[in-house]
Amino acid sequence: MGRILEQRYPDAHCELDFQNPFQLLVATVMSAQTTDVRVNGVTPILFARYPDARALAGADRTEVETIIQPTGFFRAKTDSLLKLAAALVENFDGQVPGRLKDLVTLPGVGRKTANVVLGNAFGVPGITVDTHFGRLVRRFGWTDEEDPVKVEHAVGALFPRKDWTQLSHVLIFHGRRTCHARRPACGACPVARLCPSYGVGETDPDKAQALLRTAPRG
């Protein structure tokens, strides 16, 4: 199933725009309970104003809130970003660390966010268990686990470590474009014949084709 999905999404990648580890870390923290499209809409303004951890640590709270308001929960996210930037300055000389054990010590950073940063900014393989990834691996029968950390370890045992980051991208692409939460496009799915959950969504090929998305919605 993994190989078939890789063929379906050869261009699968992190859909958050970033130019360095700091930008990816901030964008990932902001992506909670919103879409990558909305985050990408505000990060150019945010990073132009606050290009690094030291600048963000000294930012005006109200100004940050105003910039990131379109992402939702902007007050809580601003609080997280200011604390995150301060911790980077205080504990890591303003630089984003390249180790999981260091990243998860930062405010607002769990294993999911850490693996996004490690896999995409540092080239360190990691599995990103977001809502799409967790939903799909359970539908596929790869694991019954619900806890994200247990899901990460269970799926990690099924694939070579070098494939973990790209596997995450591929499954997230599939979850956003085909295997939707409420109405998956089963009739247009490339792994339908192998999927134990085939039939939970639309099985008519034409109707399923109409459910496909070419890109995530804002």
Question: In this structure, are residues 39 and 26 in contact, taking their beta carbons and an 8 Å threshold?
Answer: no
If you compute the radius of gyration of the chain from its CA atoms, what whole number of angstroms results? 18
Tokens of 124: 């360190």
Known catalytic residue at 112: yes
Question: In this structure, are residues 125 and 88 in contact, taking their beta carbons and an 8 Å threshold?
Answer: no
Which of 60, 93, 130, 150 does the annotation list as catalytic?
Answer: 130
Question: In this structure, are residues 218 and 35 in contact, taking their beta carbons and an 8 Å threshold?
Answer: yes
Which of 112, 144, 147, 207 does the annotation list as catalytic?
Answer: 112
- The sign one gets for the Cα dihedral 97, 19, 40, 166 is negative
Q: How far is CA 88 from CA 100, 103, 194, in A?
A: 14, 10, 45
Known catalytic residue at 52: no
Region at 97 (left for phi over 0; alpha for psi -120 to 50; beta for the rest): beta
By annotation, the residues acting in catalysis are 112, 130
